[in-house]
Amino acid sequence: MVQNAIVKKIVREGVAEVSLLRQMECGLHCDGACAGCSAKPPQEILALASNSIGAKPGDFVEVEPAGGHNISPSVAVFLLPCVGLGLGYGLGMNVLHLGEIAALVTAALGLAAGFVPALLMDRAISRRNTPEFAILKQLR
């Protein structure tokens, strides 16, 4: 999905930090007078973008998500705690033959155990310093 953005700063050669503009909020019909814009979101949405066109800070650009990003690590981060919960409950009920309350405790332990690898994966994904978007063209 193509979006409009404003280049905030140049991070390194070929990579820029951009502030994404939501199309519903800003169609860039105001000639870039964003400071007083009532449609501007209260918090900026910042992302890294590959800057093959040489855009400079303050430029309005069109960006699209960079190819090669896979959603499976994100899905894994959300599913691991759920799998831990189910395995913990199944272990408590079927393998250890515990009562309902005790099986809920093993389910809670499984949930906690599922959060550990999910947290580590999330941190590894967050530490990557690769561009999430690619700048396509300058709008003005």
Backbone angles phi, psi at 93, to 5 degrees: -80, -50
pLDDT of residue 106: 96
DSSP-assigned beta bridge partners for residue 60? 6
* pTM assigned to the model: 0.55
Q: What is the pLDDT along the chain (140 residues), one digit of tens a residue?
A: 788 889 999 988 889 999 887 655 555 555 555 555 555 556 678 888 888 898 999 999 999 887 755 677 778 888 999 999 999 999 999 999 999 999 999 999 999 999 998 888 878 877 777 778 888 988 86
Domains of the chain with CATH codes: 3-69+128-138 (2.40.50), 72-127 (no CATH)
Whole-number pLDDT of residue 30: 56
* Residue written as token pair 């994904």: 125
Rounded CA gap, 14 and 135, in Å? Answer: 10
Q: 84 burial class (0-12, 13-18, 19+ CB within 10 angstroms)?
A: buried
What pLDDT is attached to residue 68?
58
Q: Helix, strand, coil shares of the chain as percentages rounded to 5?
A: 35, 25, 40
Q: What pLDDT does residue 20 have?
A: 86
Query: Counting Cβ atoms within 10 Å, is residue 52 exposed (0-12), middle (13-18) or buried (19+)?
Result: exposed
pLDDT at 40: 54
Helix H or strand E encompassing 106: helix 100-127
